[in-house]
Amino acid sequence: MKIMKSDRLVAILLLLQRREQVTAAEIAQELEVSERTARRDLDALGMAGIPIYSVRGRSGGWRLLGGGRIDLSGLTESEARALFVATAPVATADTATPELRASLRKLVRALPETFRTGAEAAASSLFVDSRPWGMADAPSSPPPFLEALQDAVIRGVQARLGYVDSAGAESDRIVHPLGLVSKRPHWYLVAHTAHGQRTFRLDRVTAVVPSDEPALRFADFDLTTTWRALADDVERLREGVEVHAICAPEGLGFLRTAVGDNLHIGQAASDGRIPVVIHAPSEYGIAGHLAGLVEWLDIISPPGVRDHLGRIGAALTRRYSLPRDAPVEWTPATADE
């Protein structure tokens, strides 16, 4: 059992549950491994106590004894927990199919009863949100304290958290970890605190010291539902301004680069120009982003963005129409105008 990767173990068990029968060749193709590796994994599953058997002949393959109702009594408690830790990012992701989620529930029910609480906690400790924040970077390696915080979530204990906020202020606080979320390019901890429910970015965590004190966790808490509500609130804040504009086709690529995923593109008109909608946190901020695209972009609304662009244009004209050595009166535009 130790020679198998936990993610392959999980994948094979889910395949066996979803299908009446699988072959080593099908497993190899599904998991992108050799048939030899697939056969070795299947043999190891049997040796670990999973009730699987092979059917000989041209129509043969591998099946679960009892029509897919697994008895996972051959696993130790730590092995069962490791299995569901490996399953969580796949089976609880927002892209997971209903069949995959159902398979995970069946696996939990198949565990010895004394293992189920820990397995359910492990399976629900992570959520993968496939929608990145704007133009997110590629996923980086897991942050240093991910494993320690997941352990605290699964065991249901409090932890002392060292943290540096977005303003650079350092703090030390007691948190009640509820779950972990991967949303590119960052990992987040959802937790109860003395000031209510909070979200912490894991790359800003400087220390984690778990305790033996039980964490506060409501019976109806659901990580997926909670995170989606939090993410929707953030998106509403990020999209505080809706800018309507017309873009020349040759400027569309530059516009995409400037605003990323906050751009919604409409159908091109008969003259080739394209209506676009841009979401942004503020009128002044988006005006600064769009000022360099004036050659291709005509802002329709809101009027505040047009006003800011006018002031930016006037300031540019004053500064750069004078000789280089001429004195310039500095009158910057402000965001609260």
Determine the Cα–Cα distance for residues 329 and 234; give it in Å rounded to an integer. Answer: 39
Better-predicted residue by pLDDT, 261 or 21: 21
Whether 155 is in a domain gets the answer: yes
Find the helix or strand (DSSP H, E) in which 327 lies.
none
CA angle at 289 for the pair 283 and 293, rounded to the nearest 5°: 115
The reported pLDDT for the residue numbered 285 is 84
Whether residue 244 sits in one domain with residue 160: no
| DSSP conformational letter for 75 | S
Q: Span 5-26, mean pLDDT?
A: 74
pLDDT for 149: 92
Query: Of 239 and 17, which is predicted with more confidence?
Result: 17
Lowest mean pLDDT among 2-16, 39-53, 89-103, 111-125: 89-103
Q: Does pLDDT of 210 surpass 90?
A: yes
Residue 49 shares a structural domain with residue 69: yes
pLDDT over 70 for what percent of the chain?
Answer: 69
Q: Which residue, of 124, 158, 173, is where some domain finishes?
A: 124
Round to whole Å and give the CA distance between 203 and 144: 8
Q: Is residue 328 part of a domain?
A: no
**Of 237, 261, 283, which closes a domain?**
237
| pLDDT the model gives residue 2 | 34
Q: Rounded to whole angstroms, how far apart are CA atoms 13 and 85? A: 14
pLDDT at position 334 is 45
Residue 96 falls within a domain, yes or no?
A: yes
Q: Is residue 326 one of the residues assigned to a domain?
A: no
Under a CB-based contact definition with an 8 Å cutoff, are residues 13 and 50 in contact? yes
Is there a domain that residue 334 lies in?
no
Rounded Cα distance, 261 and 282, in Å = 16
pLDDT value of position 249: 92
**95 and 74 belong to one structural domain:** yes
- Per-chain mean pLDDT for the chain: 78
Same domain, 191 and 272: no
Residues 105 and 70 in one domain: yes
Q: Find the CATH number of the domain harbouring 255.
A: 3.30.70
Same domain, 151 and 101: no
> What mean pLDDT comes out for the span 167-186?
89
Alpha helices in 66-189 (DSSP H): 77-91, 98-110, 113-123, 146-155
Percent of the chain clearing pLDDT 90 (strictly above): 22
Average pLDDT over residues 232-253: 82
pLDDT value at position 29? 85
Q: Is residue 86 part of a domain?
A: yes
Looking at the structure, do residues 133 and 119 belong to the same domain, yes or no? no
Tell me, yes or no, whether 203 and 245 share the same domain. no
**pLDDT tens digits, residue range 243-288?**
999 999 999 999 988 888 788 899 999 989 999 999 887 888 889 8
Better-predicted residue by pLDDT, 142 or 144: 144
139: phi > 0 → left, psi -120 to 50 → alpha, else beta; which? beta
- Structural domain total, the chain: 3
Last residue of a domain, which of 178, 211, 237? Answer: 237
Mean pLDDT of 84-107: 58
Q: How far apart are CA 206 and CA 238, in angstroms?
A: 27
Residue 1 in domain: no
> Is 325 inside a domain boundary?
no
CA pair distance 120, 117, nearest whole angstrom: 5
**Residue span of the structural domain in which 169 resides:** 129-237
> For the domain that residue 94 is a member of, what is the CATH number?
1.10.10.10
Domain co-membership, 135 together with 222: yes
* pLDDT score of 330: 46
Split at pLDDT 50, 70, 90, the class of 130 is confident
Residue 312, number of CB atoms within 10 A of its CB: 18
Q: Check whether residue 111 and residue 10 sit in a common domain.
A: yes
In a shared domain, residues 64 and 137: no
Residues 312 and 216 occupy one common structural domain: no
